[in-house]
Homo-oligomer: A and B are copies of this chain.
Amino acid sequence: MATINDIAKYAGISIATVSRALNKPELVNADTRERVMQAAKKLNYFTNDKARQFNLKTKKLSLGVIIPYITSFYFGELYSGISRVAHENNIDLLLYELKSDNMAREGLTEAFSFAQRHLVDGVILASSHMPSEYDDLIEQLQMPVVLLLDAHESAKLPAFKVDDIRASFDAVAYLVSRGHRRIGMISALQTQRQERGEQLRLRGYKQAVDFYKLPYSHSFVVYGDMRFDDGYSAMKQLLAERDETGLTAVFAASDEMAIGAMRCIHDAGLRVPDDISVIGYDNLSVSNITTPKLTTIEQPFGQIGAEGARHIVKLLTEGEQLPEKGNFYMPYKIIERESVAENSASDK
């Protein structure tokens, strides 16, 4: 292991100054501190913990925020939550937008290299299912990582999110409580990675179908890629099979699909909620200005961002023994608006 001597030599600074910089950093000027720090890092003088404590005394902390698709509807709210906590703690945020949603290894490698190039102290990784095969990248990063909105496959990292299965179960339970039994679902497309939040929603629906012993056949579920148009065409399919299924309500895995479904119902000459009730998932700001206004599941994106940020700040500043892994489930709620009605059909 490197000694203070090595650092002094490497940095071209006297041993006494290096010692002072390491032990009483507040007594030496910022440039010297920085040079000592860089040398110490370079020579692996520090353990990570020591380096972090040194950082805390001498410089402003930074967090990297890595997120795919900042154009997604939840980005603003999620980032605002993170930002609020960062601001309270006098921490800089450096945002990095992942170029792909599928979390290719290359994209993640570039993102981590950005984080290292800009000397961040920890990383918040949002909305990216993290398969175990990337665990080596996380390890090489050598700094705390927190996940938001999605879980870590091997559950080695703390993840802040809503329990999609339970929330979806409750969406169906809500429809049941309003007298509906013939309930369709517009689900996310199912891919190999069945653990992604969107895909878990189908599992919640099916659990509720079992639990309440609701009528069910394959015609009750159609699939779409989460957007307005997908919801529209999915609903068309559901309407085409309605003679058989007798649907009175639909649960859509996203608000966009729910709004597309409502438009499809409208275009077919039927009314929401009088003929068919619709419940969505997301509580987009849009869902409050559609006609009728959409009843939906709200995920607390701001809170998810804030709690995730608070967790990593604690890891960095207090060195607390926090649980470093597992899912932290945040509270969701059902926002009741105008798109679900009491079912008065005969077979309820």
Stretch at the interface among A134-142, A172-180, A283-291, A309-317: A283-291
Contact of A290 among B13, B38, B290 (CB under 8 A): B290
- Is B99 in contact with A87, judged by CB distance below 8 angstroms? yes
- Helix, strand, loop or mixed for chain A's interface? helix
Query: A266 at interface (Cβ–Cβ under 8 A)?
Result: yes
- Is A117 in contact with B60, judged by CB distance below 8 angstroms? yes
Find the B residue at minimum CB distance from A256: B289
Complex CA distance for A338 and B42, rounded to whole angstroms: 63
- Is B35 in contact with A31, judged by CB distance below 8 angstroms? no
Stretch at the interface among A72-80, A146-154, A188-196, A322-330: A72-80
Min CB distance A249 to B, Å, is 20
Proximity string of chain A (51-87) to chain B, C-beta cutoff 8 Å, 1 when within and 0 when not: 0000000001010000000111001110110010001
Given A71-B76, A71-B80, A291-B291, 17 other A-B residues pairs in contact with their CB atoms under 8 A: A31-B38, A31-B42, A60-B117, A71-B77, A72-B76, A83-B97, A92-B114, A92-B118, A93-B95, A94-B94, A228-B288, A256-B289, A259-B289, A263-B289, A266-B291, A286-B289, A290-B290
Instruction: Enumerate 29 A-B pairs (CB-CB under 8 Å) in ascending A order.
Output: A11-B12, A12-B12, A31-B38, A31-B42, A35-B35, A60-B117, A70-B80, A71-B76, A71-B80, A72-B76, A75-B76, A76-B76, A79-B97, A83-B97, A87-B99, A92-B114, A92-B117, A92-B118, A93-B95, A94-B94, A94-B118, A95-B95, A228-B289, A256-B289, A259-B289, A263-B291, A266-B291, A286-B289, A290-B291
